[in-house]
Amino acid sequence: MRFRSLRLTGFRNHDSRALAFAPGHVVFTGRNGAGKTNILEALSLFAPGRGLRRASHEAMAAKGTDQGFALAAVIDDGCGETVQIGTGCGALAGADAPGRILRINGTLEKSADALNDHARIAWLTPAMDGVFTGPAADRRRLIDRMVLALEPAHGAHAIAYEKAMRGRNRLFADDVQDKRWFDALEQELARHGAAMTLARMRFVAALNAMSDGALAGRAFPVADLAITGDIEAMAADEGPAQLADAYRAHLGRTRGIDRQAGRTLTGPHRSEIDVTHRAKGMPAALASTGEQKALLTGMVLFHAELIARASGMTAVLLLDEIGAHFDETRRADLFDILDALGGQAVMTGTEPHLFAALAGRAQHFALVDGGVSERDLPA
C-alpha cells in the first residue's frame, strides 16, 4: 500500500499544499524549519493516535487561526483499490464539535482504529534517538506504538487502563474506604492491564524471532528485547490465561501499600523494556550514539517486516532526517532494504546528496522559500 496524494490545509506552516506521489519512495529536502517534518507528521495522522509529535490539535493548526486544520489523502491498497481519508479538527475539517474527526470515503467514523483497515504506518524521528537512555515511559510508548500497528485493540486497552488507574489513584487521594469502588476499578485495571501486557509480550517475542529472519545482518545490528516487571512475572508464574485474575488479586492485596504511596505501584505502566545489542551483548544504553541509531533503525525495519507478515499490508515508513548518523555505505544499504520490504518510505533530509543512492528510485521534493518543487536527485 502507499499514499497516492496528500492535501494539507491550515496545518502547521502549510496553509494550503497539495502533493501527488508517484509509485515508490518519496524524499523531501530543505533547510531546517522548511516544513519537512510537518509533512511527515501529517502523514502520521492517518494512523491511530496523536501522530509522531504527539501534539495537541491547537499546536498542529497554523498560527494565527482558530479554524483548525484539515488533511486529506488518497491511499492505494496495492490491489487496485483506493480509499479517500480525511481528518482534522475545527471549521476547516467541517467539524461542528471539539476534537478530531475522521472520514473514510465520505463516511464519518466513530473510532480512529478504522484507519488500521487501510494503512499501517511506522516512523523514526530524531526525537526518538534518546529512547534507550531516557525514561522507561519512552520505551513503553515506542513498544505500544509498534504493538498498535499489529493489534488495533491495544490502543483501546491502554486508554481504558489509564482511565481506571486514574480513578483508583483518585480514590486514594480522596481517602475513600469503600471497597466496592476499588473492586470495580481493579476489575477494569486487571482486564485491560492483562491484555496490554500479553500483547506486549507477544510482540517482543515476535520481533525477536523476526530478528533472525531475512533482514538480520544486513547493515544494521540486531537488538534483543525483553519486557520485565511485576505483572510480567505474574504472567510467567500463573500463565497467560490466569493473568487478569492474578493481577486483580494482587491489586486487592496491595491497596494499603498503594494508599501510602498515593498511586498504583504495579502494572504495565511500570514495565521496563530492556534492549540489548545482540552481537556485543551490550545494553543499548551503553552503545555509542551511532550504534543506538542503527539499533533503533533496525528495530523499525524488523517491525515493518513483521507488519507485512502478520497483516498482509506493507507499512509506510516515515523516516525523518534518516541520514544524519549514517555514512554513505550504510545509507545505500538502508535504501536497498527499503526496496526489499516492498512498501513506501517517505524520508527527509537537509541535503539532496544524502539520497544520491536513491537516484532514479525515489521522487524528490525540494522545499525552498515556502514552495515545493519536484526535482531529480543527484546521481
Of the candidates 326, 318, 336, the residue with the CA atom closest to the CA atom of residue 21: 318
Delimit the domains of the chain by residue range.
1-120+313-379, 130-307
Cell of 261: 504511596
> pLDDT tens digits for 279-318?
999 999 999 999 999 999 999 999 999 999 999 999 999 9
Segments of the chain with pLDDT less than 70: 212-218
Q: Are strands 2-11 and 14-20 parallel, antiparallel or unpaired?
A: antiparallel
3-state secondary structure of 117: helix
CA angle, corner 343, sides to 338 and 345, nearest 5?
A: 60
Among 254, 263, 249, 250, smallest CA distance to 171 is for 263
CA dihedral of 319, 325, 327, 329, whole degrees rounded to 10: -40
CB atoms under 10 Å from CB of 369, counted, come to 8
Q: What sections of 34-82 are H helices per DSSP?
A: 36-44, 57-60
pLDDT, position 100: 94
Distance CA 16, CA 7 (A): 7
Domain covering 1-120+313-379, topology: Rossmann fold (3.40.50)
Distance between CA atoms of 230 and 267, rounded to whole angstroms?
7
Q: What is the DSSP letter of 31?
A: S
Which among 188, 67, 46 is positioned nearest to 117, based on CA atoms? 46
Say if residues 285 and 215 touch (Cβ distance below 8 Å). Answer: no
Helices and strands: H and E segment counts in the chain: 10, 15
Provide the pLDDT for residue 213.
62
pTM over 0.75: yes
Q: Which CATH number fits domain 130-307: 1.20.1050.90, 3.90.1820.10, 3.40.190.10, 2.40.170.20?
A: 1.20.1050.90
At residue 215, the pLDDT reads 63
DSSP 185-226: HHHHHHHHHHHHHHHHHHHHHHHHHHTTSTTTTSSS--EEEE
